[in-house]
Amino acid sequence: MFFDTALLRLFSKGSFQDRYGHNAVLWRFYSWDPAAVSLGHGQSAGEIDEKRCRTENIDIVRRPTGGRAVLHADEFTYSFFTETRESNAAVYAMVHDIIRLALRRLGVETEFCRSTPDMRKRYATAESVSCFTASARNELQAGGRKLVGSAQRRSDRALLQHGSLPLSEKYRMLPDLLTSDDPAVLSAVADRLERKTVSLADLTGSAASFDTLCDAMYRTIAARTDAAIRYLTEEELTALL
């Protein structure tokens, strides 16, 4: 999360564009080791059981973007950085369309969510502690169940969008890491995760590897652009910070 924040700052200052070209964008793909709970930018850390997380070797981090808690365990995580005058909504839809086409290469059909719930009203409820239990407009669903959850942060004309694609059902362990002592709340969160979300393994019968997702994303991005694509190491990016 620190690295995503630092890369957004690079785009905001223009340092990345100075090095790689005025119209350059950056895709970053990563996973988590150890697993971690990420909190939304304004979410209270008190909602997560720190002691239980420590016992289970699960980190707790804070995202630069909004939303609620996500358990990043066995997943494909992406970040997209750009400097653009396009609206946040337009970028949101474009990024998810590329992910949709990449998933199609793996035989997984998804569709856009066509509505957004009243987030202010939802966040007023105790069971809203989990980010994955609500879908925003143009997020990706399979059979009406959320598969990809994303969030954004803008700094001037620079925009970060990052999100999670669960490879297995491990993200559904989140209710076990909450501090709530209300069984009804914990049951509601678990029920929503079960009914309203889906993993790649649920759809294919087995968890696709991280490298398989990376390859599908690369092929899809290459097919959608005439620009040259360059692989960057973490060391190359860190040298710009």
Residues tagged active-site: 131
Q: Are 108 and 87 in contact (CB under 8 A)?
A: no
Count CA within 13 A, CB hemisphere, residue 236: 9
Secondary structure (3-state) at 70: strand
Structure tokens, 119:
């987030």
- DSSP letter (8 states) at residue 220: H
Phi and psi torsions of 57, nearest 5°: 60, 45
Q: How does DSSP assign 43-62, residue by residue? A: --GGGB-HHHHHHTT-EEEE
